[in-house]
Structure 1
Amino acid sequence: MATIKDIADVAGVSLATVSRVINNGPKVGDATRERVKKVMEELGYRPNANARALVTRKSASLGVVIAELLDPFFATLAHGIDAVARRQNVQILMSAGSIEKQTELKAIDTLLQHRCEAMVVHSKALDDKTLVEFASQVPGFVLINRYIEEIGHRCVWLDNVAGGQIMARYMLSQGHQKFALVSSKYQIDDPFQRLTGIQKELADAGIELPDSHIEYSTPDQEGGEIAIRNLLARGVEFTAVLAYNDAMASGAMTMLQDHGVTIPADVSIMGYDDVLLAKYCRPKLTTLHYPIEMMASKAADLALAYAGGKVPEPGVTFKYTPTLVKRESVVAVKAP
């Protein structure tokens, strides 16, 4: 990775000049400033937030990277962070990563440019090595909804494998043996981990989940509708649907009802996340409660504490487990 010295050598200026450009300081001509910035961009230089804080002596802002601004799940996440920021009188700077590598990278870089010493980052597209590198640069760098062993003390994460097991176990307790799974098509850990938990629990019960019973689509209501339409078109028989999240469950429910299927009398359906939508489906959606607001608050507290000088304890991790919320969309399977 490029250093300030590399920038100075290539641009033909002093270290002090590079430092002034990085920190928007005075006594640098426009032409020199532009030359230094161009070299920084060409070399892919990312300022070290900790070093800049020492130079500027400015208190930290709390930077937040989430996937989507409009998603109710991420609105709840942001609310948990905001509560901590208000309590500690810290300004929040928020950016969206859109589950795309370059967008996530740009979002984090933007926060660095705004001198954020503390960050809560929801990243699904960037590789582990890049995130570990950021953690070494930014004193208050904390990941949410992801676990990387090397920086486990900076990770606030959910046990999605356990979540999948809880879903399958509850449906099995209601006598269901014919399952369909509506999952996210995005190549990220969460859907894979939930599927792993579901398959493990079903296998332990002697039930196989064929690939033809799994449909992948976008993790929203339209995706849920499309997934169920495809399952029905293939003639897949099922009495229970396990959905990647509440939005997909809601869409799946609508499509089934449009085809004359009564929920839960004919088909039981279960979601994941327990967002506000789950309470207002008809019937009300049985789901798993994802303690994202609690997790977000913990992540914000950690980020600010680390940025303030607290040293993370090696070996300490912050794992959470989803819990079952029983409502109306799951009942015991009808006897043959």
Structure 2
Amino acid sequence: MATIKDVAKQAGVSIATASRVINNAPHTSQAAVVAVKEAMEKLGYRPNANARALVSKSSNTIGVLVNDVSAPFFGTMVKAIDTIASEQEKQLLIGSGYHNATKERNAINLLINSRCESLVIHSKGMSDSELCDLANEIPGMVLINRVVPGMASRCIALDNKKGSYIATEHLIRNGHKHIGYICSSHNIEDAIDRREGYLDALRDHGIEIREEYIEYGEPDETGGEQAIVNLLAKNIPLTAVATYNDYMAAGSMALLQENGLRIPDDMSVIGFDDGHIARYIYPRLTTIRYPIQAMANEAVKLSLQLVHDENAAQNERKLFMPILIKRSSVSCLR
């Protein structure tokens, strides 16, 4: 028996588009309508009751896609969205995409088929063009932590490059010239931008860029620990390390201290995100604040507005600026 996936494949459209055609939903092109109906007839497809639970009907549910729901960063994001949802007497449905295009796509389709009109999407795996196609189909879809040119007015993002620049420049202004960088091994925009911010700060201050000063790892404590091990093994004269996030910073700090290095006297460390861990490791971590709560508030409010007014988005994306949070893990070299 043919399924809606078979129909979408035969018609050359997404599952979301096929669903909207089957249920006579608005915002669907005439070409898609014709293609899907022809595919249904050819395959002998008959929609069942579950296939009719679609975004075309009103719903009190907001869909949220995160990377990993167990990560504290995304817990903060979801909590902020849920606060607004509760005020609007709405519920959340949450999916995890794990920075994988197929998993993100499947999770979004599930949210759509669960009648979520408002969608707040944190996607790093799907292409710009596919996200733009989805945004055209789903008026209430907003991207967070990513800028897609074709839908920039519905993107809520942070200037990651600027944040990493500020972090590295803070180390430079404290007299450090031999500065390592611990980077995420994930091939995503955040990792690329933060690495470039580090490099730009070195260039602007006339400090030689050395590839051996950069190490990569999983963006967690274990990845940070392994990366600092690799840097120390090179026997290079580092006095400071900038990191992709606070968890990599925490892992590197633990390893340094276990090996008798004092922070910040022997090695200065700076993080990125200003998550809860930054306040409770010792010494307390100097870092870059990622205003994810404010960004999530902005994203869900915009999503709810777009459901009722497709012109609610501004002409330009909403770009948040990172802020340096000074604590105790950076020393000033005399």
TM-score, length-scaled by structure 2: 0.87
Q: Could you say which residue in structure 2 is the equivalent of 1:327?
A: 327
Q: Any residues of structure 2 matched to 1:113-128 within 5 Å, and which?
A: 113-128=113-128
Q: Could you say which residue in structure 2 is the equivalent of 1:68?
A: 68
Deviation at 1:313, TM superposition (A): 4.0
- Name the CA distance, whole Å, in 1 between partners of 2:39 and 2:287: 57
Does 2:52 match 1:23?
yes
Q: Could you say which residue in structure 1 is the equivalent of 2:240?
A: 240
Deviation at 1:16, TM superposition (A): 11
- Name the CA distance, whole Å, in 1 between partners of 2:270 and 2:72: 18
Q: Could you say which residue in structure 2 is the equivalent of 1:228?
A: 228
Structure 1 unaligned segments of length 5 or more: list them: 25-46
Deviation at 1:96, TM superposition (A): 0.5
Deviation at 1:314, TM superposition (A): 5.4
- Name the CA distance, whole Å, in 2 between partners of 1:240 and 1:13: 65
Deviation at 1:205, TM superposition (A): 0.7
SS at match of 1:191: helix
Structure 2 unaligned segments of length 5 or more: list them: 1-11, 22-33
- Name the CA distance, whole Å, in 2 between partners of 1:220 and 1:120: 24
Deviation at 1:194, TM superposition (A): 1.0
Q: Could you say which residue in structure 2 is the equivalent of 1:9?
A: 38
Deviation at 1:234, TM superposition (A): 1.5
- Name the CA distance, whole Å, in 2 between partners of 1:305 and 1:137: 16
Contact 1:118 1:307 in 2 (8 A): yes
Q: Could you say which residue in structure 1 is the equivalent of 2:279?
A: 279
- Name the CA distance, whole Å, in 2 between partners of 1:71 and 1:219: 11
Amino acid at match of 2:180: A
Deviation at 1:105, TM superposition (A): 0.7
Deviation at 1:316, TM superposition (A): 2.5
Listed one character per residue, the Cα deviations across residues 53-93 of structure 1 (whole Å, up to 9, x for unaligned) are 3xxxx234210000011111111111111111011111110
Change (3 A) 1:332 1:310: same
Q: Could you say which residue in structure 2 is the equivalent of 1:155?
A: 155
Amino acid at match of 1:137: E
Q: Could you say which residue in structure 2 is the equivalent of 1:145?
A: 145
After TM superposition, where is structure 1 displaced by more than 4 Å over at least 4 residues in a row?
13-21
Contact 2:139 2:310 in 1 (8 A): no
Contact 2:155 2:317 in 1 (8 A): yes
Q: Could you say which residue in structure 1 is the equivalent of 2:29?
A: none
Determine what percentage of the aligned residue pairs are the same residue: 35
Listed one character per residue, the Cα deviations across residues 274-293 of structure 1 (whole Å, up to 9, x for unaligned) are 00000011100000110000
Q: Could you say which residue in structure 2 is the equivalent of 1:293?
A: 293
- Name the CA distance, whole Å, in 1 between partners of 2:42 and 2:221: 55
Q: Could you say which residue in structure 2 is the equivalent of 1:167?
A: 167
Contact 1:67 1:97 in 2 (8 A): yes
SS at match of 2:264: coil
Q: Could you say which residue in structure 1 is the equivalent of 2:87?
A: 87
- Name the CA distance, whole Å, in 1 between partners of 2:198 and 2:42: 59
Listed one character per residue, the Cα deviations across residues 163-183 of structure 1 (whole Å, up to 9, x for unaligned) are 011111111111111110001
- Name the CA distance, whole Å, in 2 between partners of 1:133 and 1:19: 26
Indicate the RMSD between aligned Cα atoms, in angstroms: 2.0
Amino acid at match of 1:23: R
- Name the CA distance, whole Å, in 1 between partners of 2:110 and 2:236: 47
Q: Could you say which residue in structure 2 is the equivalent of 1:37?
A: none
Between the two proteins, the alignment pairs up a number of residues equal to 305
Task: Indicate the larger mover: 155-164 or 3-12.
Answer: 3-12
Q: Could you say which residue in structure 1 is the equivalent of 2:304?
A: 304
Listed one character per residue, the Cα deviations across residues 269-327 of structure 1 (whole Å, up to 9, x for unaligned) are 00000000000111000001100001001100011110122414452221001101111
Change (3 A) 1:81 1:198: same
Q: Could you say which residue in structure 2 is the equivalent of 1:41?
A: none
SS at match of 1:167: helix
Task: Indicate the larger mover: 233-242 or 210-219.
Answer: 233-242
Deviation at 1:10, TM superposition (A): 3.3
Deviation at 1:106, TM superposition (A): 0.7
Amino acid at match of 2:303: A
